Amino acid sequence: MSLKLRSQKVREVKRNKHGFVRLLAGAAIMVTAIYVIVSIIGSNISIRKNIEEYNELEALTNSVNEENEKISGYLENESNLDEYVEIIAREKLDFAKPDEKIYYVVPAGE
Which pLDDT belongs to residue 106?
Answer: 87
| Pairwise CA distance, residues 90 & 100, whole Å | 11
The residue type of 89 is: A
Taking only the tens place, the pLDDT of each residue in 38-55 is 999 999 999 999 999 999
Given a cut of 90, whether residue 22 has pLDDT beyond it is no
| Top-ranked range on mean pLDDT: pick from 7-11, 60-64, 91-95 | 60-64
Inter-residue contact 73 to 80 (CB < 8 Å): yes
What are the distances in angstroms from CA 66 to CA 16, 46, 59, 72, 75? Answer: 75, 30, 11, 10, 14
| Pairwise CA distance, residues 35 & 107, whole Å | 54
Given a cut of 70, whether residue 102 has pLDDT beyond it is yes
Local confidence band at 110 (pLDDT 50, 70, 90 cut-offs) = low
| Pairwise CA distance, residues 77 & 52, whole Å | 39
